[in-house]
Amino acid sequence: MNPRLDINYEKLVHNTRILTKKAEQQGIVVAGVTKVFQGNPAVAQAYIDGGVQHLADSRISNLSKLTSLSVPKILLRIPMHSEIGDVVKYADISLNSELSTLKLLNEEAKIQAKIHGVIVMVDLGDLREGIFSDKEFNKTIMEIKELQFIDVKGIGVNLTCHGGVIPTEKNLSKLVAYGKRIEEILGHELEIYSGGNSSSVYLLDQKKLHPKINHLRLGEAFVLGTESAYGEKIPNTHQDIFQLVGEIVELKEKPSVPIGEIGMDAFGNTPSFEDRGIRKRAILAVGKQDFGSYDLFPVEEDITILGSSSDHLIIDVTNSKLNYRVGDEVRFNLRYGALLSLLTSPYVHKNIIKEL
């Protein structure tokens, strides 16, 4: 069924294993982040096979699909007041920065006869989630101490998401200082010092993570084999686990410059064209509605992308050594944005390739 997204299960297990092993050698536990594939349990199983000890997602509806996988589940996005019941039901641990929400979690945990785990988030400058002021931090921890059905498991930070701030030895040492302060107030040690996402992987490679940091939450590093501080490939990992496959519906020789007066394209932009003569062009039955406005990278290097609209992708196959015909398939590698769109598109078939 096309268009489809081929998902290579063995390669995903491999990437996961490379990183969980490396982390383990430094005393670090890894949570596998499932949000990019909407908590699909068949894909999440590859994380488990690769050695993650937690599964984490930003959406509770995704976590609710993972109940058959018996590792602790972490809710990554700060919970909404309107979803507290499901948070306590489906997440063992949630990331939190608001006292009002923690109080609701406490009441709900009491009703469900559970102890809900919490990782307190601090903001070290990226300016997305997390407690920012020292005063609020102290007040929050003092009050959490009184919440009987909340277990403060740890402290965490998220970086390189909104502000592009890179995790360093310096800013992560602040996380450790905050953690020590919680330990003083609560009178017990914290189990989790969660030092970030795929942008912290470079510190793992350089063995520069503070020894107190014992937890990372990784998605991109597993699915794309890239770290997200500098966008580098991670050694010994695969970058082609997910590939878009589109099918050719038209193949014709046409000029490279449109004929007629140029107005706007389908998205309100005025396009410009370089005259490269008559070219062999293929139209694939997949478009912006599926992959968003993000970049795709043809696996075959001799292909170039000419453009796309809602339902069509136009490529130039003039230089290809393959003799394409209508009905043939063309494959693309992806970056995070395109992958996220494709995995969310109901029009794209998800095809998990698993060796028996």
Ligand X SMILES: *Cc1c(COP(=O)(O)O)cnc(C)c1O
Catalytic residue annotation: 35
Which lies closer to ligand X via its Cβ, residue 109 or residue 221? 221
Beta bridge partner(s), residue 156: 121, 194
Query: Of the listed pieces 15-23, 102-110, 211-219, 250-258, which binds ligand X according to CB under 6 A?
Result: 211-219
Residue 217 sits in the site that holds ligand X (CB under 6 A) = yes
| CA 200 – CA 221 distance, rounded (Å) | 10
Q: How far is the CB of 228 from ligand X (least distance, A)?
A: 5
Which member of 94, 158, 320, 345 binds ligand X (CB under 6 A)? 158
Q: How far is the CB of 51 from ligand X (least distance, A)?
A: 16
Query: Of the listed pieces 42-50, 111-119, 220-228, 251-259, which binds ligand X according to CB under 6 A?
Result: 220-228
- For ligand X, the nearest residue by Cβ is 219
Which member of 12, 88, 165, 218 binds ligand X (CB under 6 A)? 218
Q: What is the largest CA-CA distance in the chain?
A: 76
Which member of 5, 28, 33, 147 binds ligand X (CB under 6 A)? 33
Residue 58 sits in the site that holds ligand X (CB under 6 A) = yes
Which lies closer to ligand X via its Cβ, residue 220 or residue 316? 220
Q: Scan residues 222-241 and list those touching ligand X (CB under 6 A).
A: 228
| CA 244 – CA 249 distance, rounded (Å) | 16
Q: How far is the CB of 286 from ligand X (least distance, A)?
A: 24
Read off the amino acid at residue 186: L
Q: How far is the CB of 269 from ligand X (least distance, A)?
A: 30
Q: CA angle, corner 203, sides to 215 and 23, nearest 5? A: 40
| CA 90 – CA 68 distance, rounded (Å) | 11
Which lies closer to ligand X via its Cβ, residue 156 or residue 246? 156
Query: Of the listed pieces 108-116, 218-226, 261-269, 345-353, which binds ligand X according to CB under 6 A?
Result: 218-226
Residue 308 sits in the site that holds ligand X (CB under 6 A) = no
**Please, are residues 12 and 50 in contact by the beta-carbon 8 Å criterion?**
yes
Residue 350 sits in the site that holds ligand X (CB under 6 A) = no
Which member of 197, 226, 308, 341 binds ligand X (CB under 6 A)? 197
Alpha-carbon separation of residue 228 from 38, 70, 150, 204, 271 (angstroms):
20, 29, 32, 13, 32
| Residues found in the chain | 356
Task: Read off φ and ψ for residue 277, nearest 5 degrees.
Answer: 80, -160
Which lies closer to ligand X via its Cβ, residue 157 or residue 315? 157
| CA 274 – CA 242 distance, rounded (Å) | 32
Residue 76 sits in the site that holds ligand X (CB under 6 A) = yes
Residue 219 sits in the site that holds ligand X (CB under 6 A) = yes
- Here the tokens at position 101 are 């929400």
Residue 44 sits in the site that holds ligand X (CB under 6 A) = no
Residue 330 sits in the site that holds ligand X (CB under 6 A) = no
Query: Of the listed pieces 13-21, 205-213, 219-227, 251-259, which binds ligand X according to CB under 6 A?
Result: 219-227
| CA 238 – CA 15 distance, rounded (Å) | 7
Q: Which residues bind ligand X (CB under 6 A)?
A: 33, 35, 58, 76, 158, 197-198, 217-221, 228
